[in-house]
């Protein structure tokens, strides 16, 4: 042990102090032991307004640490929602103890620096910290008013919201990793309720950015209004097979599902649909899918992955051919390859898994209107439900609830609801018939784009 | 966890800006989990979280702040922040005198998780792995998770309420991948109860493993699910999720108050088939969604929501019931001290009917039999809901025939409730669930006897 821990509160740490604490913990590694400390701090504000009044206002800071210990090929993990030194010390002891109960595994181990230089990313807004609470409240109220005023059929706004978050983290290991990063995000969102007679429909709109200057209230309000009102009169369609056009926000969700099946660990463990398909055509030739967390415009942009390796651009599918899987340190070692710096974690409470952060497809050349015209008859999907229950990433079965508009003679027709669309992930990739020229940045691990997929089953009446 | 005199002073501080109501919610949570995958115990994880959330209500506005510092200084700072967030008029001193709310624990806990060695917990995983792989050569992959948590909470508010609870939960989950000519398929089984390690006296992990493996193997022969409207028979147990989605969320008072529920303003009306009696019960012994007090300090209760098809009651949290001047129902819950409480379900179930479950199948010429459900989702404003089937069979001429691949079903809540035309006499609770609402997950239970919905849309691909 290089330094004796001392009991006492750390107070509100700065980014440098997070790094210092992580270094200290990594320094407590014993001989023959690898120790990783991931220290994170978040500051969040959430304001909900309803009927012209603030319904709730919550503003808080939270911090915590996750510690991983590897000894004799065994890994243990422990976390605590506190940075008090006595708690941190206890957490390390727990992680160490936990390691004794895991199975030995020759591939287990912490990341070591691989020479890739971290991207210089500007994903932090100093301006955000200076926005007075009253201004945030005013923006949420303005959004609510704008939605209400957007159409006479808007009955109410279920909630209009401002949210912001500043997240700082540091990760240090005694294997040479030393990384810290910080990012801010803010958003406004509204859920509109439209009504006509006894009927009710809902639609949401939002705008997201690094700082308040990035937010587009007008667009958020217009989206919520259009999406709720255009569904009025929606009926359940007849069952059949047809071409489905996904709006950018739904495409983003689909891309994230696809990327989930390209996890190198799932491949090693016999859980990936695409395990034996590397180098083979798995999608329409028009599809190129890339994960690039160094793209500063992406919501998930970050200079380092969750093990402290510099992030990089990974092409997963090129011209329809499967090019690569995503790896963290463990799965890469086991597969005999290099980490793609795709370690992710759900805050300080979990160890590193694998995942995409900033997916995008190379846009096509057609506008959404041109795609509708080319499709002729089909379905435009504006929302889906039941993703957890209806998409099986191992078998590939895909079945989700959907709402949207029928496409009739190349243009938007009548609204439909209470239907499902179904296929398999494998077939949907092959059945892509058009990719739009309209990339849209979203609060998601993927950039959206209009996407048309042929031959899905639509189940209704 | 915190001295009573300190809480009284902190509530006083919280009210200094003129609040109508203030509350301290303190939580100390320890958890441990162990995960086996690919034949190896990958890791054992333990976690500790401790802190308090302070809420101040002024008129229609709620201010909230939280802290991981349970000292009087930390709590007072959070109280000031919450008071400032609620923006009341300044001035006014109110004294708070606390009185303890007695609340019986839903059941005894015999073996606290911390009294059981980690090696004993880990040993369950290996047994499950071996049993699942023993079911057949087509079993290619097994993962299993053991988890326990102990959550001690203390709630005090300016109405004088002081209550505490010690909530112990244990769960076990196994997931199997089988591989055959038609690709890979999955099977799952999980159990979870508000008990300690004695749960494993009641369940053998080998049995759970065999269930999960059997599901995956059966699905290797599965054909695509039908596409379109069909009668659906749902096996007892996990089908309770149907009610959770079809009407449970729509009966939560916050959705009702904002008029974003298809069930708003309908108390006293026939909203379901007369065969439907629906209950939400947080006092149900060792079930996954049970507790002694909710996260606003009020005892859990058994609430009949629908009696013989007639809507009798919504579920309430304290804030909304207080505003309405009515009694609460013990449904105010939050994920952690970092969250505001809201109306949530506990254990929601359909009461027994009188039909013979086998007869329900026999009297269904063509339809789908759902033996295990995954999760679901609902839009309370329109009532449209989905839920996924993870084990299902075709019914042909009153008999179960071929297994079906996974798919979602979609329906509309009020219509589905009216369309229930048979309810069995074989009630059972289903597996443990996590209900998500506005970003917060809480443990919930569901249950039902075997039942039939005369028409639902099955979202398969069969032509």
What number is the ipTM of this complex? 0.91
pLDDT of residue A9: 31
Q: Over the stretch B267-302, which tens digit does the pLDDT of each residue have?
A: 999 999 999 999 999 999 899 999 999 999 999 999
CA distance A395 to A398: 9
- Residue among A101, A423, A455 with most chain B CBs within 10 A, to mutate: A101
* Share above pLDDT 70 across residues of chain B, in percent, rounded to a whole number: 98
Q: Which residues of A403-419 are buried (b: 16+ CB within 10 A; e: fewer)?
A: bbbbbeebeeeebbbbb
Instruction: Kindly tell me if the per-residue pLDDT of A7 is higher than 60.
Output: no
Sort out which chain A residues have CB atoms less than 8 A from B50's CB and list them.
Answer: 81-82
Q: Is the CB of A401 less than 8 angstroms away from the CB of B50?
A: no
Q: Is the CB of A200 less than 8 angstroms away from the CB of B260?
A: yes
Q: Over the stretch A42-65, which tens digit does the pLDDT of each residue have?
A: 999 999 999 999 999 988 888 999
Instruction: Kindly tell me if the per-residue pLDDT of B89 is higher than 70.
Output: no
- In this structure, the dihedral spanned by the alpha carbons of residues B253, B255, B258 and B260, taken in order and rounded to 10 degrees, is -140
Sort out which chain A residues have CB atoms less than 8 A from B177's CB and list them.
Answer: 270-271, 394
Interchain CB contact of A328 with B (< 8 Å): no
Say which of A59, A268, A389 has its CB closest to residue B387.
A389
Say which of B179, B185, B388 has its CB closest to residue A390.
B388
- Torsion sign across C-alpha atoms B258, B261, B262, B268: negative
- Residue among A235, A390, A393 with most chain B CBs within 10 A, to mutate: A390
Chain A to chain B Cβ contacts (< 8 Å): 263
For residue A94, the surrounding DSSP H or E stretch is helix A85-99
Interchain CB contact of B381 with A (< 8 Å): yes
The edge-to-edge listing of strands for the beta sheet with A359-361 is: A321-322, A314-318, A289-291, A359-361
Contact A56, B64 (CB under 8 A): yes
Quickly count helices (H) and strands (E) in chain B: 10, 23
pLDDT of residue B93: 62
Q: Is the CB of B457 less than 8 angstroms away from the CB of A78?
A: no
Contact A208, A186 (CB under 8 A): yes
Residue partners of B6: CB distance under 8 A and separation at least 6: B72, B75
Over its C-alpha atoms, chain B yields an Rg (Å, rounded) of 24
- Cα B39–Cα B45–Cα B48 angle in degrees, nearest 5: 165
What fold does the segment set A126-163+183-229 form as a domain? PmbA/TldD fold (3.30.2290)
Alpha helix ranges (H) inside A295-380:
329-335, 368-375
Sort out which chain B residues have CB atoms less than 8 A from A403's CB and list them.
Answer: 384
Helix, strand and coil percent figures for chain A, each rounded to 5: 25, 40, 40
Sort out which chain B residues have CB atoms less than 8 A from A263's CB and list them.
Answer: none
- Please state the rounded mean pLDDT for residues B143-168: 96
Interchain CB contact of A253 with B (< 8 Å): no
Token digits of residue A196: 């006509």
CA distance A88 to A102: 22
Q: What is the Cβ-side half-sphere exposure of residue A174, based on CA atoms within 13 angstroms? A: 19
Sort out which chain B residues have CB atoms less than 8 A from A79's CB and list them.
Answer: 45-48
For residue A88, the surrounding DSSP H or E stretch is helix A85-99
Interchain CB contact of A105 with B (< 8 Å): yes
Give the chain A residue whose CA is nearest to the CA of B404: A397
- pLDDT band of residue B238 (cuts 50, 70, 90) is confident
Contact B309, B47 (CB under 8 A): no
Let me know how long chain A is: 461
Contact A118, A179 (CB under 8 A): yes
Token digits of residue B370: 């759902």
Q: Over the stretch A243-272, which tens digit does the pLDDT of each residue have?
A: 999 999 999 999 999 999 999 999 999 999
State the helix-helix crossing angle for A217-229 and A133-149, rounded to 10 degrees: 40
Residues 40-69 of A with CB under 8 A from B: 50-51, 53-60, 62-64
Residue partners of A378: CB distance under 8 A and separation at least 6: A242, A243, A244, A245, A406, A407, A452
Q: Is the CB of B61 less than 8 angstroms away from the CB of A57?
A: yes
Per the rule left: phi > 0, alpha: psi between -120 and 50, beta: everything else, A201 is: beta
Give the chain B residue whose CA is nearest to the CA of A55: B61
Q: Over the stretch A81-138, which tens digit does the pLDDT of each residue have?
A: 999 999 999 999 999 999 999 999 999 999 999 999 999 999 999 999 899 999 999 9
Token digits of residue A62: 């939270």
Token digits of residue A3: 């330094």
Q: Is the CB of B45 less than 8 angstroms away from the CB of A87?
A: no
- Torsion sign across C-alpha atoms B236, B238, B239, B240: positive
Q: What is the separation of C-alpha A148 from the centre of its chain, rounded to a whole number of angstroms?
A: 30
Residues 201-260 of B with CB under 8 A from A: 219, 225, 227-229, 258-260
Q: In whole numbers, what is the pLDDT of chain B averaged over residues? A: 94
Q: Is the CB of A53 less than 8 angstroms away from the CB of B59?
A: yes
Token digits of residue A357: 């952060």
Q: What is the Cβ-side half-sphere exposure of residue B210, based on CA atoms within 13 angstroms? A: 6
Interchain CB contact of B81 with A (< 8 Å): yes
Q: What is the Cβ-side half-sphere exposure of residue B160, based on CA atoms within 13 angstroms? A: 3
β A154-173/B451-459 pair status? unpaired
Domain definitions of chain A by residue range: 126-163+183-229, 234-461
């Amino acid at each position: 042990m290089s330094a004796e821990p001392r009991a006492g509160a750390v107070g509100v740490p700065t980014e440098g102090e997070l790094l210092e604490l992580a270094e200290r913990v990594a320094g407590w590694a014993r001989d023959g032991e690898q120790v990783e400390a991931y220290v994170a701090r978040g500051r969040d504000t959430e304001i909900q307004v309803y009927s012209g009044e603030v319904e709730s206002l919550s503003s808080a800071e939270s911090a915590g640490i996750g510690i991983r210990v590897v000894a004799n090929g065994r890994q243990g993990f422990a976390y605590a929602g506190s940075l008090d030194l006595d708690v941190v010390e206890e957490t390390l002891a727990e992680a160490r103890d936990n390691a004794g109960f895991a199975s030995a595994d020759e591939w287990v181990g912490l990341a070591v620096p691989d020479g890739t230089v971290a991207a210089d990313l500007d994903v932090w807004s100093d301006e955000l910290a200076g926005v007075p609470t009253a201004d945030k409240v005013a923006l949420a109220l303005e959004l609510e008013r704008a939605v209400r005023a957007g159409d006479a059929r808007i009955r109410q706004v279920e909630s209009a919201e401002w949210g912001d978050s500043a997240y700082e983290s540091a990760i240090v290991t005694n294997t040479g990793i030393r990384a810290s990063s910080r990012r801010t995000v803010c958003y406004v969102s509204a859920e509109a309720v439209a009504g006509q007679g006894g009927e009710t429909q809902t639609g949401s709109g939002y705008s997201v950015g690094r700082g308040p200057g990035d937010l587009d209230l007008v667009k958020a309000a217009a989206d919520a209004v259009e999406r709720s009102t255009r569904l009025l009169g929606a009926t359940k369609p007849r069952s059949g097979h047809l071409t489905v056009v996904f709006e950018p926000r739904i495409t983003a969700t689909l891309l994230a599902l696809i990327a989930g099946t390209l996890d190198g660990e799932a491949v090693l463990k016999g859980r990936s649909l695409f395990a034996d398909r590397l180098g083979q055509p798995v999608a329409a030739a028009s599809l190129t899918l890339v994960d690039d967390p160094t793209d500063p415009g992406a919501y998930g942009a970050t200079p380092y992955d969750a093990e402290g390796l510099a992030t990089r651009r990974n092409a997963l599918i090129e011209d329809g051919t499967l090019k690569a899987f995503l790896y963290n340190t463990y799965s890469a070692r086991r597969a005999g390859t290099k980490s793609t710096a795709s370690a992710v974690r759900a805050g300080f409470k979990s160890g590193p898994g694998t995942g995409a952060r900033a997916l995008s497809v190379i846009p096509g050349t057609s506008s959404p209107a041109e795609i509708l015209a080319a499709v002729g008859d089909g379905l435009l999907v504006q929302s889906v439900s039941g993703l957890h229950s209806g998409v099986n990433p191992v078998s590939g079965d895909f079945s989700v609830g959907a709402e949207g508009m029928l496409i009739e003679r190349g243009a938007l027709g009548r609204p439909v609801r209470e239907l499902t669309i179904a296929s398999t992930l494998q077939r949907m990739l092959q059945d892509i018939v058009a990719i739009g020229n309209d990339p849209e940045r979203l609060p998601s691990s993927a950039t959206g784009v209009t996407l048309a997929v042929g031959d899905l089953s639509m189940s209704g009446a | 966890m915190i001295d009573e005199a300190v809480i009284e002073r902190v509530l006083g501080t919280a009210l200094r800006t003129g609040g109508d109501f203030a509350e301290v919610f303190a939580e100390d949570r320890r958890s441990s989990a162990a995960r086996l995958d690919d034949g190896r115990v990958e890791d054992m994880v333990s976690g500790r979280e401790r802190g308090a959330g302070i809420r101040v209500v002024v008129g229609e506005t709620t201010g909230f702040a939280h802290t991981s510092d349970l000292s009087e200084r930390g709590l007072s700072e959070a109280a000031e922040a919450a008071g400032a967030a609620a923006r009341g008029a300044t001035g006014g001193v109110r004294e708070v005198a606390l009185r303890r709310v007695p609340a019986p624990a839903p059941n005894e806990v015999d073996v606290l998780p911390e009294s059981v060695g980690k090696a004993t917990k880990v040993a369950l995983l290996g047994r499950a792995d071996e049993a699942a792989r023993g079911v057949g050569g087509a079993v290619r992959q097994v993962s299993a998770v053991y988890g326990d948590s102990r959550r001690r909470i203390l709630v005090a508010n300016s109405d004088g309420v002081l209550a505490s609870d010690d909530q112990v939960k244990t769960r076990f989950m196994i997931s199997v991948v089988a591989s055959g000519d038609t690709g890979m398929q999955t099977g799952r089984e999980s159990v979870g109860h508000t008990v300690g390690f004695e749960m494993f006296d009641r369940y053998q992990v080998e049995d759970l493993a065999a269930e999960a493996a059997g599901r995956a193997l059966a699905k290797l022969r599965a054909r695509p699910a039908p596409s379109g409207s069909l009668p659906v028979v749902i096996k007892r147990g996990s089908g309770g999720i149907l009610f959770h989605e079809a009407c449970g969320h729509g009966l939560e008072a916050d959705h009702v108050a904002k008029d974003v529920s298809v069930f708003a303003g309908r108390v006293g009306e026939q909203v379901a088939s007369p065969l439907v009696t629906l209950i939400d019960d947080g006092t149900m012994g060792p079930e996954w969604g049970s507790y002694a007090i909710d996260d606003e300090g009020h005892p859990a209760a058994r609430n009949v929501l629908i009696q013989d098809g007639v809507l009798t009651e919504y579920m309430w949290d304290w804030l909304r019931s207080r505003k309405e001047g009515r009694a609460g129902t013990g449904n105010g819950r939050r994920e952690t001290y970092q969250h505001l409480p809201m109306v949530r379900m506990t254990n929601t179930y359909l009461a027994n009917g009188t039909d013979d479950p086998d007869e329900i199948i026999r009297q269904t010429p063509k339809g789908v039999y759902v033996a295990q459900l995954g999760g679901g989702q609902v839009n309370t404003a329109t009532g449209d809901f989905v839920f996924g089937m993870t084990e299902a069979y075709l019914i042909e001429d009153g008999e179960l025939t071929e297994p079906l691949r996974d798919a979602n079903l979609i329906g509309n809540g009020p219509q589905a409730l009216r369309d229930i035309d048979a309810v069995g006499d074989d009630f059972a609770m289903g597996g443990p669930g996590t209900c998500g609402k506005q970003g917060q997950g809480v443990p919930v239970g569901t249950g039902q006897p075997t039942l039939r919905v005369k028409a639902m849309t099955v979202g398969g691909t069969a032509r």
